[in-house]
Amino acid sequence: MGSISVRLRDLVSLTIGTLLLVHLNACSGDGPPGYEPPKQAEEIGKASLWLTTGDRSKLLNQETDIPITKLDDSSLPAITLSLEDKKQHIEGFGAALTGSAAYLIQQKMNPSQRHALLQELFDPGVGIGLSYLRMTIGSSDFSLSDYTYNDLPHGQTDYNLERFSIEKDREDVIPVFREIINIAPNLKIMGSPWSPPAWMKTNNNLRGGKLKPEAYEVYAEYFVKYIEAFQAEGITVDAVTVQNEPLHFTAGYPCMEMNSEEQNVFIRDFLGPKFKSKGISTDIILYDHNWDNTHFAISILNDPETREYVSGSAFHGYAGHVDATGIVHSSHPDKGLYFTEISGGEWATNFSDNLQWNMSNIFIGTTRNWSKNVLMWNLALDQDFGPKNNGCQNCRGVVTINNNNGQVTRNVEYYSLGHFSKFVRPGAWRVGSNTSGNMDGIEHVAFSDQSGKKVVVISNNNNEAKELKVKADGGQLIYNLPAKSVITLVWN
């Protein structure tokens, strides 16, 4: 009887306890009186995120998608996009397929290595999707030799250009361009001369000197024949600059002096009219030298006749400050700005420092200052920083190709380019954006396109992580940027 009484007592206690618990839950909900569970932000989309860190633990890695939620009133530092504020159209991102780069790709890689590299460089689905290349019209400081398309024995001339020939470029440049165009048929190409043929120059030499006044007409025709010859090879030249670095003319490689007054006359009275009469649609771009001189471009654009032939001005980043292009834009906002050359090199080997410098000065810096493209210098060099042609002795390519086995090393320039070229496709435009809160050490630029895709590139140059939000279209996303990092955010 005793054991039965204990079991009955336990059963009664359990029943009473259960009833009491049900009563309390019915009266009070799932928590104590007044308790409300935290509200979860309503997710309205997701953004893809790609990350590179200065310590190289992440190299253009795709990370977990970031939720996009409805705007809240949290006080994080913020980047706010103004999607209706459309700035310049973007024409592309890339580098220069110099003679040296073409030689390495064509001669020092086997066909499978070459195809794999070019797919990685130019197919945005497979790799970083470069969309713009610069080529040298004849040789440069990164060619296997000095040459133009009309070289003659000393003392001879050819004012009818009967001996014009691009045969030298059939060895490496043309085959590599063709293979690239098969991968990226909409590739944009810009041509830049380092020197006219020697017989057209005052010193009869590819190095130094000026263009003879009596050769202005034939040199304009030389540009036409160059464009037509490459077009016949299936290679469309979309733009030309008149002279690479016209204020640097004492080098040990092909070069020529051409001041702003001379360039103005050449474009206004010869090159522009020649293109027009021959039906050449290739853009003419002036200057093509450093940020430290804005007068050169502005003075030519001030000529009402010349400016009708000119699409814009090109700049290099070896001297001066990136806001120079913004100054030129302010003077002539209807004309394009182009960034056409900068090289990394062994004078700066710290990956993290180079990544941040590239973002601040070259990629974020130039696009925020109205540049329609961003081009690095050599697409590829070898492990000895060549082949060289009496120019820079320790320049670095976007990639390094080992000339013994064809193996590829991707340099900081590759990842810097990739954060833009893979995502910001030709035809997109930069959009307005502003910041609020403490954004010290943070830089950014934003883009959009006709499909509604948004792209924001943000760099964090601080030694610690930085949490911030990006706001657009009534939504927001929040991310904690690692120290010394770059991210690209993409969403529709």
User: According to the model, what pLDDT value does residue 271 have?
Assistant: 99
* Stretch 18-35: mean pLDDT: 43
**Is the domain of 123 the same as that of 249?**
yes
**Is the domain of 264 the same as that of 386?**
yes
| Structural domain count, the chain | 3
Residue 471 scores a pLDDT above 70: yes
**Is the domain of 190 the same as that of 247?**
yes
* Stretch 415-432: mean pLDDT: 98
Q: What pTM was estimated for this model as a whole? A: 0.91
**Is the domain of 375 the same as that of 387?**
yes
Question: What are the tens digits of pLDDT across the range 289-342?
Answer: 999 999 999 999 999 999 999 999 999 999 999 999 999 999 999 999 999 999
Please identify which of the residues 245, 257, 413, 443 carries the catalytic annotation: 245
Question: What are the tens digits of pLDDT across the range 125-156?
Answer: 999 999 999 999 999 999 999 999 999 999 99
**Is the domain of 169 the same as that of 263?**
yes
Give the domain extent around 480: 43-87+431-491
- Comparison of pLDDT for 23 and 490, the residue scoring more: 490
**Is the domain of 100 the same as that of 56?**
no
245 labelled catalytic:
yes
Q: Point out the domain boundary residue: 426, 452, 476.
A: 426
User: According to the model, what pLDDT value does residue 22 have?
Assistant: 33
Q: Binning pLDDT at 50, 70 and 90, where does residue 388 land?
A: very high
Sign of the torsion formed by the C-alpha atoms of 342, 347, 351 and 354: negative
**Is the domain of 149 the same as that of 229?**
yes
User: According to the model, what pLDDT value does residue 40 have?
Assistant: 63
CATH number for the domain harbouring residue 347: 3.20.20.80
| Nearest-angstrom CA–CA distance, 58 and 88 | 31
Residue 270 gets which letter from DSSP? I
User: According to the model, what pLDDT value does residue 42 have?
Assistant: 86
341 labelled catalytic:
yes
**Is the domain of 274 the same as that of 290?**
yes
Please identify which of the residues 91, 120, 257, 341 carries the catalytic annotation: 341
**Is the domain of 366 the same as that of 221?**
yes
**Is the domain of 61 the same as that of 17?**
no
For every residue of 320-374, DSSP letters joined together read S-THHHHHHHHH-TTSEEEEEE--EETT---HHHHHHHIIIIIIHHHHHTTEEEE
User: According to the model, what pLDDT value does residue 11 have?
Assistant: 36
Mean pLDDT for the chain? 93
> Is 446:439 a contact under the CB 8 Å cutoff?
no
Question: What are the tens digits of pLDDT across the range 42-88?
Answer: 899 999 999 999 999 999 999 999 999 999 988 999 999 999 999 99
**Is the domain of 357 the same as that of 398?**
yes
**Is the domain of 82 the same as that of 111?**
no
